[in-house]
């Protein structure tokens, strides 16, 4: 709406307080599930029910059949709440313009130097990317939130050219909470098909993710392909099906945050396994142990299409348990309870994917 440049922070703050914008309040929707309802406020006239994309992956028919044949079908509704990254240093940048060479220099706290350089140069400033020298020194923590192409850096560059001097912008912590991209934010129904002996037969996940009012740097990736690819973790699932709907909401934009879908997939998978064990009276450690992919089964292509080339998941599982000393759990729990704290024990394997650019 307005961009203030001043000699001091105090002067800039006073100028901001003098700006009066007359807004017309509109109905808003912040819950992605409610945003899908026909009666929900529509963010865009040409996008019915605020639905950006309806994505699916896996074998729906095979998964449905496995559920029909299973001894038990366990269902769990989950909310993976929205978060923001809160890096130790907020976003900030310093921009300058050299009139003699018609080039810009941008020092920017960013994780994404090359892609953002092209975005700022070509798509915002309308110049060749070679005219912008984009430098990322010590970033001060990013965690995904500093991947995105935010509006402030090109505004700083524009102001630097307009004023003929360098311009600096440093985000406040309060504005960081409001203006940085968010992560997670999924509402899911996860179902596990399991036999009496604890053997996993199939996994079905249906999730709805709010992505903000418009697609940000990576669009609807996190609640769709980002969360689908590592569904099932390191366990042997004969079949899986994943459906993800990305929904527009009147919230801050969604972009990568520490995993961009893989932690969400682990949360979905491990929560339904733990819940099934407790509901059926099975040992949660034993059913995980029983269903881990053995090393001799690798390489293996998961039902989500991911190539799992190598690894010894049972070995890592046992080593982790050994380090956790479950035999001493009772004594540690008693000590914690006496101190007024809660104490629990669980194990949750995590499957990461790498080499995505190859």
DSSP string covering 200-268: EEEEEEEEEEE--SS--TTTTTIIIIIHHTTTTTTB--SEEEEEEEEE--SSPPB---TTTTHHHHHHH
* Structural domain contains residue 353: no
Mark whether 202 and 309 lie in a shared domain.
yes
Q: To which residue do tokens 């968010």 refer?
A: 182
Q: Tell whether the model's pLDDT for residue 336 goes beyond 70.
A: yes
Contact between residue 190 and residue 205 where contact means Cβ atoms under 8 Å apart: yes
* Structural domain contains residue 2: no
C-alpha–C-alpha distance, residues 326 and 348, integer Å:
14
Average the pLDDT over 216-237 and give the result.
94
Q: Tell whether the model's pLDDT for residue 357 goes beyond 80.
A: no
Average the pLDDT over 162-175 and give the result.
96
Contact between residue 156 and residue 106 where contact means Cβ atoms under 8 Å apart: yes
Q: Closest Cα partner for 94 from 9, 175, 165, 14?
A: 165
* Residue 184 zone, left/alpha/beta (φ > 0; ψ -120 to 50; rest): left
Mark whether 207 and 317 lie in a shared domain.
yes
Mark whether 230 and 210 lie in a shared domain.
yes
Token digits of residue 130:
């070679």
Structural domain boundaries enclosing 37: 32-85+183-338
pLDDT tens digits, 53-62: 999 999 999 9
Mark whether 216 and 310 lie in a shared domain.
yes
Average the pLDDT over 76-87 and give the result.
95
Q: Which residue has the higher pLDDT, 15 or 326?
A: 15
Look at residues 163, 179, 195 and tell me which one is the last residue of a structural domain: 179
Here the CATH number for the domain that contains residue 71 is: 3.30.365.10
Mark whether 238 and 128 lie in a shared domain.
no
* Structural domain contains residue 233: yes
Look at residues 121, 144, 179 and tell me which one is the last residue of a structural domain: 179
Mark whether 284 and 218 lie in a shared domain.
yes
* Structural domain contains residue 98: yes
Mark whether 146 and 236 lie in a shared domain.
no
Mark whether 299 and 332 lie in a shared domain.
yes
Confidence of residue 349 (pLDDT cuts 50, 70, 90): very high
* Structural domain contains residue 21: no
pLDDT of res. 114? 96
Q: What is this structure's pTM?
A: 0.92
Mark whether 193 and 214 lie in a shared domain.
yes
CA–chain centroid gap for 69, Å, is 34
Mean pLDDT of the chain: 95
Mark whether 112 and 53 lie in a shared domain.
no
pLDDT of res. 218? 87
Average the pLDDT over 218-236 and give the result.
94
Contact between residue 104 and residue 128 where contact means Cβ atoms under 8 Å apart: no
* Structural domain contains residue 334: yes
C-alpha–C-alpha distance, residues 104 and 95, integer Å:
7
Side-chain-side CA neighbours of 248 within 13 Å: the count stands at: 19
pLDDT of res. 344? 87
Total count of domains within the chain: 2
Q: 129-138, 148-157, 227-236, 336-345 — which is least confidently predicted?
A: 336-345
* Structural domain contains residue 24: no
Mark whether 54 and 126 lie in a shared domain.
no
Mark whether 102 and 64 lie in a shared domain.
no
* Structural domain contains residue 18: no
User: How large is the angle between the packed helices 313-324 and 284-291, nearest 10 degrees?
Assistant: 160
pLDDT of res. 356? 60
């Amino acid at each position: 709406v307005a961009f203030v440049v001043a000699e001091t922070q105090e002067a800039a703050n006073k100028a901001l307080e003098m700006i009066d914008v007359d807004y017309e309040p509109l109905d808003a929707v912040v819950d992605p599930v409610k945003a899908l309802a026909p009666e929900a406020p529509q963010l865009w006239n040409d996008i019915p029910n605020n639905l950006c994309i309806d994505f699916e992956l896996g074998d729906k028919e095979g998964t449905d059949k496995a559920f029909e044949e299973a001894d038990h079908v366990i269902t769990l509704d989950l909310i993976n709440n929205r978060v923001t990254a809160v890096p130790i240093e907020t976003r900030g940048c310093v921009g300058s313009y050299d009139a003699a060479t018609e080039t810009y220099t941008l020092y920017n706290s960013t994780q994404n130097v090359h892609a953002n350089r092209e975005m700022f140069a070509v798509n915002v400033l309308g110049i060749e990317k070679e005219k912008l020298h984009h430098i990322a020194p010590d970033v001060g923590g990013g965690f995904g939130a500093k991947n995105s192409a935010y509006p402030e850096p090109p505004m700083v560059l524009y102001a630097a050219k307009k004023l003929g001097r360098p311009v600096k912008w440093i985000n406040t912590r309060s504005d960081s909470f409001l203006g940085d991209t968010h992560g997670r934010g999924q509402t899911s129904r996860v179902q596990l098909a399991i036999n009496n002996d604890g053997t996993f037969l199939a996994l079905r996940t249906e999730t709805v993710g709010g992505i903000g009012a418009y697609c940000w740097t990576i669009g609807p990736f996190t609640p769709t392909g980002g969360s689908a690819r590592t569904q099932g973790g390191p366990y042997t699932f004969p079949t899986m099906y994943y459906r993800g709907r990305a929904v527009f909401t009147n919230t801050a934009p969604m972009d990568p945050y520490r995993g961009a879908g893989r932690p969400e997939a682990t949360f979905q998978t491990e929560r339904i396994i733990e819940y099934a064990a407790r509901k059926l009276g099975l040992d949660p450690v034993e059913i995980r142990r029983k269903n881990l992919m053995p090393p001799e089964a690798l390489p293996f292509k998961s039902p989500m299409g991911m190539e799992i080339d190598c690894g010894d998941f049972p070995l890592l599982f046992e080593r982790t348990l050994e380090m956790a000393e479950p035999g001493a759990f009772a004594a540690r729990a008693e000590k914690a309870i006496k101190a007024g704290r809660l104490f629990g024990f669980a194990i949750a394997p995590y499957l990461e994917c790498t080499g995505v650019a190859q």
